Amino acid sequence: MKSSAKGGLVYSTEHGRMCPGCGQPLAACTCKADAAPKGDGVVRVSRQTKGRGGKCVTVVKGLALGAAALAALGKQLRTACGSGGTVKDGVIEIQGDHCDLVMAALAQQGHRPQRAGS
């Protein structure tokens, strides 16, 4: 077993990696469940090309959902648009310019989407 400088358990041969916050195994971590998802209730939908080699990407920010719910919503939006994409750092990215389609799908699910950017 290894210990960190603070004296907490980092790894257990029985359970694997341990959470530094609550001391439980990462699979049974209780401090992740306590973290409230951030978002102000306004979903911002924008189109970006910066840093993507000129490729257009539709970006959805501001959703106050957990990681699993955000991934499921990202899957639904990608399927509705018929394109690929990803979910990372609380942001849904969908390949291509699908702002209007994404806004309609989000409004149908009860969110309040707003067009951001130009």
Higher pLDDT pick, 49 / 3: 49
pLDDT of residue 4: 44
Residues near 102 by Cβ (< 8 Å), separated by ≥ 6? 45, 58, 60, 77, 80, 81, 94, 113
Helices then strands, each counted (H, E), the chain: 3, 8
Predicted TM-score (pTM) of this structure: 0.67
Q: How far is residue 109's CA from residue 106's CA, in Å, rounded to a whole number?
A: 5
Amino acid 17 reads R
Lookup result for tokens 């306004």: 42
Q: Where are the domains of the chain?
A: 2-34, 42-115
Decide yes or no: CATH 3.40.50.970 for domain 42-115.
no
Lookup result for tokens 């106050």: 64
**pLDDT higher than threshold 60 for residue 1:** no
Of 18-22, 88-92, 105-109, the least confident: 18-22
Q: How far is residue 85's CA from residue 47's CA, in Å, rounded to a whole number?
A: 13
pLDDT digits (tens, 9 = 90+) for 61-82: 988 888 888 899 999 999 999 9
What is the pLDDT of the chain when averaged over all its residues?
Answer: 82
Q: Is the dihedral of CA 80, 103, 96, 89 positive or negative?
A: negative
pLDDT of residue 39: 62
